[in-house]
C-alpha cells in the first residue's frame, strides 16, 4: 500500500499543515497507514486523500467543520454499514446543510437540517482530481512518496 507523507498531502489537498495536524489530533481524519521505525511519520492512503479532499470541498462550500463532524456522526449512527462516509457517499450541500445520496435513488438523507438541495460534491470527481494531482506532483516530490 502506498503512503503519502504530510508535505505531499498538503500539496495534493491544498490545506495547511495546521489543519492536517488538527484533523489528525481530534480524530476527524487520521492517517490510516501505520508507519514504523525510529522516525515514524504519518502516512496517508489514497482513500485518506479522498476523504481530506471531500472535507476541504465541503469547507470551501461554506460548511463549518463542526457541521461536517456532526453529519459524519449522524451517518455513523444511522447508517452503520457505511464506514467512511466522506469516501463512500455522494454528498450534497447548499453551504449550510449536508445531504447524502444513498444506493436508493429515491432516498436522500438530510444529515443536518431540512433544507433545499442546491450544490453537489461527487466523490468520484474528487477521487479523479486527487489522482490527477498525484500524477502532476509525482516525480517532482518522489521522495515524499513511500511505498
- Quote the pLDDT of residue 42: 85
**Cell 444529515 appears where?**
111
Cα–Cα distance for residue pair 7/5, rounded to 1 Å? 6
- Quote the pLDDT of residue 146: 58
Helices marked H in 79-122: 85-88
Would you say 146 and 37 are in contact if contact means Cβ atoms under 8 Å apart?
Answer: no
Other Cβ atoms within 10 Å of 38 Cβ, number: 4
Give pLDDT tens digits along the chain (147 positions).
Answer: 688 999 999 999 999 999 999 999 999 999 999 877 666 688 999 999 999 999 999 999 999 999 999 988 888 887 788 888 888 888 888 888 888 876 666 667 778 764 444 445 567 778 888 888 888 887 666 555 555
Name the residue among 49, 31, 2, 15 with its Cα closest to residue 145: 2
Report the CATH number that the domain containing residue 142 is assigned in CATH: 1.10.1660.10
Cell of 132: 490527477
Tally of domains within the chain: 1
- Quote the pLDDT of residue 76: 83
Structural domain of 75: 3-146
Beta-bridged to residue 110, according to DSSP, are 99
Angle between helices 6-13 and 17-25 (to 10 degrees): 110
DSSP one-letter string for 62-98? T--HHHHHHHHHHHHHH-TT-S-HHHHSEEEE-SS-E
Amino acid at each position: 500500500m502506498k503512503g503519502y507523507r504530510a508535505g505531499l498531502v498538503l500539496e495534493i489537498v491544498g490545506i495547511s499543515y495546521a489543519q492536517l495536524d488538527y484533523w489528525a489530533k481530534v480524530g476527524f481524519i487520521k492517517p490510516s497507514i501505520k508507519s514504523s521505525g525510529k522516525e515514524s511519520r504519518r502516512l496517508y492512503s489514497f482513500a485518506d486523500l479522498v476523504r481530506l479532499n471531500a472535507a476541504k470541498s465541503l469547507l470551501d462550500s461554506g460548511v463549518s467543520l463542526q457541521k461536517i463532524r456532526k453529519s459524519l456522526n449522524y451517518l455513523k449512527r444511522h447508517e452503520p454499514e457505511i464506514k467512511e462516509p466522506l469516501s463512500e457517499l455522494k454528498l450534497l450541500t447548499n453551504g449550510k446543510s449536508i445531504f447524502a445520496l444513498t444506493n436508493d435513488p429515491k432516498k436522500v438523507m438530510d444529515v443536518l437540517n431540512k433544507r433545499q438541495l442546491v450544490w453537489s460534491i461527487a466523490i468520484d470527481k474528487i477521487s479523479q482530481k486527487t489522482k490527477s494531482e498525484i500524477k502532476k506532483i509525482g516525480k517532482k516530490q518522489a521522495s515524499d512518496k513511500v511505498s
